[in-house]
Amino acid sequence: QEACEARGCTWCATDVPNAPWCFFPEDSPYGYSLGGSTEKTAQGWRVTLNKRQALSLFGNDISPVILEVEFQTKDRLRFRLYDPNRQRFEVPLKIDSPGVTADEASYDVE
């Protein structure tokens, strides 16, 4: 806990298996922030994420990044992160998705 907090991170012990106890705080200079409003799509929603600052933990950061969330079934959620400015290979999966609304899903997304 001391080492975590000394780095400026947040410590939150939990009984949930495999959940991290140490993580970056919400106002951390690392990571991404919401770049605009949430766009509703036919299957869920889409948001643009922008890199927060010039600091980089791993290098070669992409900004902006698009996050798409698709409510596929009552028990299945699909999320996809991609670079809107550069195409990349994606595995061509054909998964039938009847599509459900967030209210019909057995999970919550925030």
- For the stretch 12-60, pLDDT in tens is 999 988 888 998 888 888 888 888 889 999 889 999 999 988 677 777 8
7 Rama sector, left if φ>0, alpha if ψ -120 to 50, beta otherwise: alpha
Tell me: do 70 and 49 sit in the same domain: yes
Spatial distance between the Cα atoms of 45 and 70, rounded to a whole number of angstroms: 7
Distance, first Cα to last Cα, the chain: 27
C-alpha 21: how far from its chain's center?
Answer: 18
Do residues 51 and 35 make contact, with C-beta atoms less than 8 angstroms apart? no
Q: What domain range is 7 assigned to? A: 1-28
Spatial distance between the Cα atoms of 67 and 79, rounded to a whole number of angstroms: 7
Residue 104 lies in a domain: no
Q: What is the pLDDT of residues 54-76, one digit of tens each?
A: 677 777 889 999 999 999 999 99
Tell me: do 24 and 37 sit in the same domain: no
Residue 102 lies in a domain: no
DSSP element (H, E) containing 3: helix 2-6
Tell me: do 81 and 62 sit in the same domain: yes
Residue 91 lies in a domain: no
CA angle 67, 72, 48 (to 5 degrees): 10
Number of folded domains in the chain?
Answer: 2
Residue 6 lies in a domain: yes
Tell me: do 36 and 82 sit in the same domain: yes
Tell me: do 58 and 82 sit in the same domain: yes
Tell me: do 39 and 82 sit in the same domain: yes
Residue 79 has a pLDDT of 92
Strands (E) in 1-110, as ranges, are 10-11, 22-23, 32-34, 39-40, 44-51, 65-73, 76-82
Residue 64 lies in a domain: yes
Residue 8 lies in a domain: yes
